[in-house]
Amino acid sequence: MILTPKTSRRSFIRGIAGITAAGAFPNLLMGQGALKKVAVACIGVGGKGDSDASGSANGNEIVAICDVDKNTLARAAKKYPNAKAFTDFRKMLDEVKSIEAVTVSTPDHMHFPGAMHAISLGKHVMVQKPLANTLWENREMHLAATKKGIISQMGNQGHTYEGNRVTTEWVKAGVIGKVKEVHVWTNRPIWPQGKSAKLNRTGKAPEHLDWTQWLGQSPDEPYSDNVHSFKWRGFLEWGAGAFGDMGCHLMDAPFVALGLTTASAVTATKVDDFTDIAWPTGSIVKLEFTNVPGHGDVMFYWYEGRKPDGTPYLPEIPASVDIAEAFGNRVSDGGWMIVGSEGAIVNKGDQAKGMQIWPKKRREDFPADKIAKTEPRSETPGDPQREWTLAIKNGKAFPWMSQFDYSAPLTEATLIGGLAMRFPGKRLGWDSKTLKFDDEAANKFIKRAAYRAGWEYSSAKA
């Protein structure tokens, strides 16, 4: 079947589907890059935005770029000379009619408006993690994407890795028995949080930065020279703290391996140096997942940052684990551990790349190379941008993609954990269906306190 100007993409895909159903050309859809390039627009093209744009450009065309920093925008314009450049993504999305897909690689507070504007126009979206920094925005983004039927993706690249599949296969094979606990830890924050995160309101922003557009949906705030372009993560209004930054990476493998969705309760058992504008310097959070199929109740612990004495918050490692062999004499700066009735899976690093089964006897009983590969593999390991654009060409998401159906619940877990830090030591019951805690004080933080006029988005308007 030849794609001609008179052949719609939809009818082409239907025709190919008929051919593949008959058993011919089974990999033709995966080769559509030679026939069709996806027209991609990029909101945010510095830092992670640069790599998101580069990944999306593979086999496609970057037709428009947007950044509030004119210096960053100018560098991207040299890389993509045929792309139209903007500092306001709303103008970009409304004016460039050829756009089919959009990457959103901005500070956390601008994920929601960027994605929602694109979704409302029927554009496919890839949004950096976490999807949003409030629970209401995370839910609304998921609802809007479902309503519009777009292909979505969150930028937690580890979800494409082999290690996530292997971890899932080990757990399903019963290597460590029934899971009772999960422990996840990180050395973040590596930017100012707590009392050290202060706004340095110097007044007028530099000429190259559109500060009003940087604030976007957030209320007016005098320019501070210690926010853009990296330290925003530590502030409550614009970032999601260490949990939001690394939770969607570190929690990913245990989350998918256990088939977790929504927690029933959350408690921030330790919180250090939380302020009225900034996330804490260190914390421990306990998430309760009840009636997990095949396992029962699972307690999920998050550890971040450092204690007041400067030592890191870390879990207690079971005696059956040889720390020297598992970590190299010192527990890693980031990692996770799934503890079951018969042993543990320990991973050194932020993503599932160095998993080990403990105790050794359990490893001998379940040789890793003998455990069946039952989970579908990614077509593009380590490259979620290409996976997403291939899915767009395919007209259907691939199994195991970090679509919003998966990544919104994952993000939700990090966000209820972050919100609990406002109430140290208090157990908060959580009802995901109603998007409410059993505590009215906590419910006040589910949605952003205020939005700038003209920046109101919702799934109802999508």
Residue 216 counted as domain residue: no
Q: Looking at the structure, tell me whether residues 166 and 298 fall in a common domain.
A: yes
Q: What's the whole-number average pLDDT of the chain? A: 92
Residue 302 counted as domain residue: yes
Is the Cβ–Cβ distance between 232 and 274 less than 8 Å?
Answer: no
46-96 tens-digit pLDDT? 999 999 999 999 999 999 999 999 999 999 999 999 999 999 999 999 999
Q: Looking at the structure, tell me whether residues 187 and 315 fall in a common domain.
A: yes
Q: Looking at the structure, tell me whether residues 248 and 134 fall in a common domain.
A: no
Q: What is the pLDDT of residue 386?
A: 96
Residue 150 counted as domain residue: yes
Q: Which residues, other chains included, contact 344 with Cβ-Cβ below 8 Å and sequence gap of 6+?
A: 176, 318, 320, 321, 337, 338, 357, 358
Which residues sit opposite 183 in a β-bridge? 301, 337
Q: Looking at the structure, tell me whether residues 334 and 351 fall in a common domain.
A: yes
136-185 tens-digit pLDDT? 999 999 999 999 999 999 999 999 999 999 999 999 999 999 999 999 99
Q: Looking at the structure, tell me whether residues 304 and 165 fall in a common domain.
A: yes
Rounded (10°) angle between helices 404-420 and 135-148: 170
Query: Which CATH number covers residue 94?
Result: 3.40.50.720
CA 355 to CA 352: how far, in whole Å?
6
CA 411 to CA 399: how far, in whole Å?
19
Residue 453 counted as domain residue: no
Q: Looking at the structure, tell me whether residues 301 and 263 fall in a common domain.
A: yes
Residue 201 counted as domain residue: no
Q: Looking at the structure, tell me whether residues 131 and 256 fall in a common domain.
A: no
pLDDT at 400 over 80: yes
Query: Which CATH number covers residue 328?
Result: 3.30.360.10
CA 298 to CA 263: how far, in whole Å?
10
Q: Looking at the structure, tell me whether residues 128 and 265 fall in a common domain.
A: no
Residue 181 counted as domain residue: yes
Residue 429 counted as domain residue: yes
Answer whether 0.85 is exceeded by the pTM.
yes
- Tokens representing 413? 């877990």
Closest CA to 114 of 54, 57, 65, 62: 65
Q: What is the pLDDT of residue 21?
A: 31
Average pLDDT of span 319-334: 93
Q: Looking at the structure, tell me whether residues 331 and 374 fall in a common domain.
A: yes
176-204 tens-digit pLDDT? 999 999 999 999 999 999 999 999 998 89
Q: What is the pLDDT of residue 203?
A: 81
CA 203 to CA 125: how far, in whole Å?
35
- As for how many domains the chain has, the answer is 2
Q: What is the pLDDT of residue 35?
A: 63
Q: Looking at the structure, tell me whether residues 271 and 305 fall in a common domain.
A: yes
Q: Looking at the structure, tell me whether residues 188 and 313 fall in a common domain.
A: yes
- Tokens representing 219? 């209320």
pLDDT at 244 over 50: yes
Closest CA to 137 of 104, 168, 95, 179: 104
% of the chain surpassing 90 pLDDT: 91
Q: Looking at the structure, tell me whether residues 425 and 355 fall in a common domain.
A: yes
Average pLDDT of span 419-439: 98
Residue 402 counted as domain residue: yes
Domain containing 42: what range?
17-158+387-406
CA–CA–CA angle 216, 218, 224 (5° rounding): 85
Q: What is the pLDDT of residue 148?
A: 98
